Amino acid sequence: MADLQQTAGSRAPSHAGERYFMRFTRAQRYMHAVLFTTFLGLAATGLPMRFSESFWARKFASGVGGFGTIIFFHKFFAVVLTLAFLIHLKEVFTRGLFHREKGIFWGKTSMVANWKDVKDLFGHVRWFLGLGPKPQFERYAYWEKFDYWAVFWGMIFIGFSGYAMWFAPFFARFLPGWALNAVLVIHSEEGLLAILFIFSIHFVNTHLRPDSFPMDMVIFTGVESEEEFKTKRPEEYQRVAAQGKLESRLGVKPPVWLLNFSKAVGYSAIFIGLLLLVLTLSAYFVG
């Protein structure tokens, strides 16, 4: 059925159904799944420690069997995320350095920021204010690159400071004394930044804004409709079309079970994230 649709779609795009285009590979989708699962786990176990005086932290702690359980799962998720990060690094360097794949470290498809991103940011803000046209985004828009690098550097800093606390006597051999104090500040502040950012800014920018509301399914299904592709990333669409490579990007309309499964997972993640956001804010403002 899916194959039929794809064939039909490619022949008669406007009548027999929309065409779907690949945006993310299976590996990238799994990486995102591992990322948000471990992130939710780290946030859910990290926040009670950060706000251990709050009304919900102790209840949560006693509910799960105390701090021992919390730190165990925090470390577990941390190790899984570290492995995922290392796999990602290996992937990037293999593709970029060994396979000499174009567009990994620079170019239109790279995650590395370029001059267009600066222009897009200003252009976008001008459009917000009604002062100019909407920028024509490429494969990764500036806020998506920001998300990527925020997570990238966040993992390095939060990870390093976390391991420094976990193995403090070892790290103390080559870190100055004050660094043992500083790692907690770095870990908790940057963790908090990540939590606040992901559960508010990333959720809205990527999923909850009117263009994608209530959720952008592309990270779960890997494909998006042609119309969505054209609207959201016109410059990429035009570039791929001009190169005559649109056909090679054609994907399969996601089956219903995958959509439903993705929705269940995605809505759960957003719900947990928003819940944690409310708890975090409540710890700040209620106590």
By CB under 8 A, name the binding residues for another protein. 48-50, 52-53, 57-58, 61-62, 65-71, 124-125, 127-130, 143, 150, 165, 168-170, 172-173, 175-182, 184-186, 189-190, 192-193, 196-197, 200-201, 204-205, 209-213, 227-228, 231-232
Q: How far is the CB of 231 from another protein (least distance, A)?
A: 5
- Cα 37 off chain centre by: 11
The answer to whether 32 and 221 have CB atoms below 8 angstroms apart is no
Q: How far is the CB of 171 from another protein (least distance, A)?
A: 9
In the complex with another protein, the residue whose CB is nearer, 31 or 43, is: 43
CA distance 20 to 28: 18
CA distance 56 to 287: 9
CA distance 148 to 261: 25
In the complex with another protein, the residue whose CB is nearer, 88 or 202, is: 202
Q: How far is the CB of 250 from another protein (least distance, A)?
A: 19
In the complex with another protein, the residue whose CB is nearer, 125 or 156, is: 125
In the complex with another protein, the residue whose CB is nearer, 209 or 245, is: 209
Q: What is the CA radius of gyration of the chain?
A: 21
Q: How far is the CB of 210 from another protein (least distance, A)?
A: 4
In terms of residues, how long is the chain?
A: 287
The answer to whether 81 and 38 have CB atoms below 8 angstroms apart is yes
Q: How far is the CB of 57 from another protein (least distance, A)?
A: 6
Look up residue 24 and give its two tokens.
Answer: 């993310």
Peptide bond into 210 cis (omega under 30): no
In the complex with another protein, the residue whose CB is nearer, 101 or 211, is: 211
